[in-house]
């Protein structure tokens, strides 16, 4: 018999996420045929790389001032246009069992295979609840090595800080069959939050998710940031993930 479905931690009534009903989807226990497509975007042009390097010093400002919730555009863009930082638009999904570590998956679009899969040392339920209460900033730090040529997001492990507090580690890994099944289940959803139905009761609680648009901004070879954008475009990002070599 299917376990009774419960709701994720309550979000404030004013939060745009609370207005997105969870989609009707099959259970993850019976994964559908995986039809996700490879990413098609090419790497950044030389001119963009030079521009990002020129702006690298500015990219560290959000880390220095974690309490700042007012997004500042370096391009004169308005907040309402939904493109705050002039970065590349991506699809990001946070998911995991309520009491288990949360996973962050970055895709070019909801129908593409994951470009990045991270397992973070924070319980899924706690992170989503904290995001419902206010801005969350995650910093992932790794050691800078002389002559480093590895892309920062290709590093295997980082020290993890959540709102300035050490919270274990973040680990990059290859997508598993379960990861791909979750992405397939959510392939028709561009944003939203809820609980994915499951046929059996899971020991770590319900399988929760939150999906949104992210902007990827490359500051330099040693810094990269993913900003989660609010769907109504009226506030700053509820979640920012910073990758930094120090």
Q: What angle do CA 137, 40, 44 make, to 5 degrees?
A: 60
4 domain-assigned: no
Determine the Cα–Cα distance for residues 168 and 116; give it in Å rounded to an integer: 19
66 domain-assigned: no
What pLDDT, on a 0 to 100 scale, did the predictor assign at position 83?
55
168 domain-assigned: yes
What pLDDT, on a 0 to 100 scale, did the predictor assign at position 42?
53
What pLDDT, on a 0 to 100 scale, did the predictor assign at position 200?
82
84 domain-assigned: yes
240 domain-assigned: yes
* CB neighbour list of residue 164: distance below 8 Å, 6 or more residues apart: 66, 137
104 domain-assigned: yes
Number of domains in the chain: 1
DSSP 8-state assignment for residue 153: G
41 domain-assigned: no
From first to last of its 246 residues, the chain has per-residue pLDDT tens of 444 444 445 544 444 444 444 433 334 554 446 678 887 655 444 544 444 444 443 334 443 333 333 333 333 343 444 555 568 999 999 999 999 999 999 999 999 999 999 999 999 999 998 998 888 999 999 999 888 889 999 999 999 999 999 999 999 999 999 999 999 999 999 999 999 988 888 889 999 999 999 999 999 999 999 999 887 665 656 899 999 999
What pLDDT, on a 0 to 100 scale, did the predictor assign at position 38?
85
Give start and end residues of each alpha helix (H) in the chain.
46-54, 56-59, 61-64, 124-133, 177-185
241 domain-assigned: yes
Residue owning tokens 């990269």: 224
Residue range(s) defining the domain that contains residue 104: 79-245
Determine the Cα–Cα distance for residues 16 and 242; give it in Å rounded to an integer: 24
């Amino acid at each position: 018999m299917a376990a009774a479905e419960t709701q994720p931690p309550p979000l404030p009534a004013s939060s745009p996420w609370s207005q997105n009903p969870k989609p009707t989807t099959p259970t993850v226990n019976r994964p559908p045929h995986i039809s996700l497509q490879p990413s098609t975007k090419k790497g950044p042009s030389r001119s963009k790389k030079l521009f990002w390097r020129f702006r690298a010093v500015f990219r560290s400002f959000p880390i220095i001032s974690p309490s700042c919730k007012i997004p500042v555009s370096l391009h004169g863009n308005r907040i309402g246009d939904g493109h705050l930082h002039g970065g590349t638009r991506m699809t990001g999904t946070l998911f995991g069992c309520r009491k288990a570590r949360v996973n962050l998956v970055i895709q070019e679009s909801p129908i593409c295979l994951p470009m990045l899969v991270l397992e973070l040392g924070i319980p899924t339920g706690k992170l989503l609840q904290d995001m419902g209460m206010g801005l969350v900033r995650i910093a992932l730090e790794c050691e800078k090595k002389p002559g480093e040529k590895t892309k920062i997001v290709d590093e295997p492990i980082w020290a993890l800080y959540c709102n300035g507090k050490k919270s274990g580690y973040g680990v990059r890994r290859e997508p598993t069959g379960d990861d791909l099944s979750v992405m397939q289940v959510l392939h028709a959803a561009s944003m939203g939050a809820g609980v994915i139905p499951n046929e059996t009761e899971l020991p770590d609680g319900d399988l929760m998710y939150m999906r949104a648009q992210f902007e990827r901004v490359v500051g330099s070879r040693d810094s990269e940031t993913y900003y989660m954008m609010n769907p109504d475009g009226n506030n700053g990002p509820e979640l920012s993930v910073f990758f930094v070599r120090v």
